[in-house]
Amino acid sequence: MNLDDIQKLIKLLDESSLDELKIEEGEFKLTLKRSKETAAVGQSFHHVTAPPSYYPSTHAMAAPQMQPAQPQPTAEQTAPTGGSAAQADTNSQAAKYKEIRSPMVGTFYRAPSPESSPYIQVGDSINPGKVLCIIEAMKLMNEIESDIQGKIVKILVENGQPVEYDQVLFLVEPA
């Protein structure tokens, strides 16, 4: 399933009376929900659940066609011999955090509206299902939810900044 297919499904959901649509193909899972609260305001939000958007930084990701990932060399395998202690410390820190990545191309927003407080801050604890941000794609607001439990260590994207598919948005220290 590609981005065009997902966009067609979103359009079909908008034009139908359905409130929710779930699709599962192997490990790929997609859930589209119509939010009843925001429908009254006139702005539609769609919840999009994609395959896990967090990956340890030392592992390769699967391609969008859901092909098996190929292992990449670890930092120890590629580091030159005689590396400094600072390099080893950086590698160990990168390995201990999980990355939450953007499941789509769009504009990143930390809050539901400009006047609202952000969904999360650095240091906040998160659980699966907690809304982390919104990504606007084709005038649709897509709530991005956490699929892991942990603590937000770093927010890597500024509010209103364009994001690419698979761009790292957050670093999380797993619980």
Asked whether 51 and 149 are in contact (CB, 8 A), the reply is no
Is 103 domain-assigned? yes
Looking at residue 3, its pLDDT comes to 73
Is 147 domain-assigned? yes
User: Phi and psi dihedrals of 38, rounded to 5?
Assistant: -80, -20
1-5, 81-85, 148-152: least confidently modelled range: 81-85
49 vs 45: CA distance, rounded Å? 13
CA-based R_g, the chain, Å: 18
Domains in the chain, number: 1
Is 53 domain-assigned? yes
Is 155 domain-assigned? yes
Is 45 domain-assigned? yes
Is 121 domain-assigned? yes
Is 78 domain-assigned? no
| pTM more than 0.85 | no
pLDDT tens digits, one per residue of 62-80: 444 555 555 555 444 444 4
Is 68 domain-assigned? no
**Between 5 and 139, residue with greater pLDDT:** 139
Token code pair at residue 105: 């191309």
Would residue 57 be called left, alpha or beta, if left means φ above 0 and alpha means ψ between -120 and 50 degrees?
alpha
In DSSP terms, 141 is beta-bridged to 45, 136
Q: Which domain holds residue 44?
A: 3-57+97-174
- DSSP code, position 34: B
pLDDT bucket at 24, cuts 50 / 70 / 90: confident
Sign of the torsion formed by the C-alpha atoms of 72, 77, 83 and 85: positive
- 58: pLDDT strictly greater than 70: no
151 vs 114: CA distance, rounded Å? 24
Cα 139 to chain centroid, rounded: 18
Task: Return the CATH number at 9.
Answer: 2.40.50.100
Average pLDDT, the chain: 76
